[in-house]
């Protein structure tokens, strides 16, 4: 297996997270999925800070690991580096996985099985498969967070059950899907977040289809600084800004202001429902999160700047930022790379 380019590439973006070691340990226990599998890690730090850790783990890992240096502190650059690497190696499937996640042994098997079943769908094949991300809370976190599953990540569907948005982190991409050809993650959104929402909006607009693999579960530990209503409200506010930035495409200023007014009305309605459910923390806080989303949308449409959740802008802010690759094989060395 180590002498071949993988048919399936697990791609991980990382930025100064020691949890990467635990993520890779979980991938060492995966059950076979019927394809040759490799791992690529895109280090988004300015300096190659994760290289030594990756080399140490790669020396004994059952799957071949390739290290990519994809600076700097802009998640879209790292995501694009992984897409480029998957294409360069000829991988049919690229599966995104986060550096703070752990996988169940059957995770990849379930993901690939759902993709194979989707290839036989009468309405056409599915080029993307999403799996659930289940949050794991640390001791001392508010109990209402776990009871409400408010950090879990699941697909958004319309009334017919069709998935209408996507996310990265437990996501399979069929690199042969015509709807994926030429798509890139927007570097301008690489600091604010929302790059995945914009990517999947373009993918669906190009005719792409998304399936869901409920048995392909990964777990994600919620840091203490994110286990709060304040963080959730800020995240939803940003999500509202992202949604509004997509809605605003091609709209006149008058149209944007009308949409901002509608968002403000929805935010007020959600605030009222939060008051009605004040005695139930889960019900109340869900409505507050919905209100924050609408506030974010209305603020963006009215001209407010987008907030930044992580990272810094790459110097020059050019989409073509250089990406150096250093392939690390099972013994910590090797010719692999882009």
Rounded Cα distance between 44 and 46, Å, is 7
Residue 120: pLDDT over 90: yes
CB atoms within 10 A of CB 40: 28
Range of the domain at 274: 229-301
pLDDT tens-digit map of 129-184: 999 999 999 999 999 998 998 999 999 999 999 999 999 999 999 999 999 999 99
- The residue behind tokens 């392939």 is 327
Which two three-digit tokens encode residue 317? 């802010």
Coil, helix or strand for 95? Answer: strand
Rounded Cα distance between 41 and 68, Å, is 6
Are residues 195 and 151 located together in one domain of the fold? yes
- Number of domains within the chain: 2
CA triplet 27, 179, 36: central angle to 5 degrees? 30
CA triplet 197, 135, 101: central angle to 5 degrees? 75
| Residue count of the chain | 338
* Dihedral sign (CA 329, 326, 14, 320): negative
Residue 4: the pLDDT is 67
Residue 54: the pLDDT is 97
Residue 211: pLDDT over 60: yes
Percent of the chain with pLDDT over 70: 89
DSSP strand pairing (128-130 vs 210-212) = parallel
Rounded Cα distance between 236 and 171, Å, is 21
Are residues 243 and 184 located together in one domain of the fold? no
Are residues 286 and 140 located together in one domain of the fold? no
Are residues 57 and 165 located together in one domain of the fold? yes
Contacts of 116 (CB under 8 A, 6+ apart): none
Rounded Cα distance between 20 and 107, Å, is 17
Coil, helix or strand for 102? Answer: strand
Residue 144 maps to a domain: yes
Residue 309: the pLDDT is 56
pLDDT band, very low/low/confident/very high, at 15 (cuts 50, 70, 90):
very high
- Say if residues 334 and 63 touch (Cβ distance below 8 Å): no
Residue 116 maps to a domain: yes
Are residues 126 and 58 located together in one domain of the fold? yes
Alpha helices in 277-338 (DSSP H): 281-301
Low-confidence winner among 123-127, 188-192, 258-262, 333-337 (lowest mean pLDDT): 333-337
Report phi then psi at 60, rounded to 5: -125, 5
Residue 39 maps to a domain: yes
Residue 327: pLDDT over 80: no
Are residues 76 and 93 located together in one domain of the fold? yes
DSSP 8-class letter at 137:
E
Are residues 90 and 192 located together in one domain of the fold? yes
Alpha helices in the chain (DSSP H): 20-27, 51-58, 75-89, 107-118, 143-148, 195-205, 229-247, 253-276, 281-301
Are residues 18 and 116 located together in one domain of the fold? yes
Are residues 38 and 87 located together in one domain of the fold? yes
DSSP strand pairing (93-98 vs 171-174) = antiparallel
Are residues 159 and 124 located together in one domain of the fold? yes
Are residues 70 and 215 located together in one domain of the fold? yes
Residue 326: pLDDT over 80: no
Largest CA distance in the chain: 62
Residue 217 maps to a domain: yes
Are residues 62 and 207 located together in one domain of the fold? yes
Coil, helix or strand for 289? Answer: helix
Residue 95: the pLDDT is 98
Residue 148 maps to a domain: yes
Residue 51 maps to a domain: yes
pLDDT tens-digit map of 52-102: 999 999 999 999 999 999 998 899 999 999 999 999 999 999 999 999 999
pLDDT band, very low/low/confident/very high, at 238 (cuts 50, 70, 90):
confident
Q: Rounded to two decimals, what is the model's pTM? A: 0.82
**For residue 207, what is the domain's CATH number?**
3.90.550.10
């Amino acid at each position: 297996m180590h002498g071949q380019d993988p048919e399936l590439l697990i791609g991980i973006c990382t930025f100064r997270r020691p949890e990467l070691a635990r993520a890779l340990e979980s991938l060492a226990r995966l059950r076979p999925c019927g394809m040759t599998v490799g791992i690529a890690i895109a280090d988004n730090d300015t300096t190659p800070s994760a290289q030594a850790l990756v080399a140490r783990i790669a020396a004994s890992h059952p799957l071949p690991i390739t290290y990519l240096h994809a600076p700097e502190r802009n998640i879209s650059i790292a995501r694009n580096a992984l897409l480029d690497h998957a294409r360069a190696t000829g991988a049919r499937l690229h599966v995104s996985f986060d550096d703070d996640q752990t996988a169940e042994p059957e995770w990849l098997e379930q993901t690939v099985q759902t993709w194979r079943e989707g290839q036989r769908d009468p309405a056409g094949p599915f080029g993307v498969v999403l799996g659930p991300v289940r949050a794991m809370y640390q001791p001392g976190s508010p109990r209402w967070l776990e009871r409400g599953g408010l950090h879990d990540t699941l697909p958004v569907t319309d009334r017919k059950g069709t998935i209408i948005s996507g996310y990265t982190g437990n996501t399979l991409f069929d690199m042969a899907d015509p709807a994926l050809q030429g798509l890139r993650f927007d570097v301008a959104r690489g600091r604010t977040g929302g790059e995945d929402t914009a990517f999947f909006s373009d993918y669906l607009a190009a005719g792409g289809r998304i399936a869901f693999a409920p048995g392909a579960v990964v777990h994600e530990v919620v840091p203490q600084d994110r286990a709060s209503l304040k963080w959730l409200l800020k995240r939803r506010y940003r999500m509202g800004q992202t949604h509004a930035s997509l809605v605003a495409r091609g709209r006149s200023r008058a149209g944007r202001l009308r949409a901002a007014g509608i968002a403000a009305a929805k935010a007020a309605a959600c605030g009222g429902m939060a008051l009605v459910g004040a005695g139930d923390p889960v019900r109340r806080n869900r409505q507050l999160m919905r209100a924050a989303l609408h506030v974010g949308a209305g603020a963006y449409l009215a001209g407010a700047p987008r907030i930044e959740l992580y990272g810094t802008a790459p110097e020059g802010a050019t989409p073509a930022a250089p990406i150096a690759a250093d392939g690390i094989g099972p013994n910590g060395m090797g010719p692999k790379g882009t």
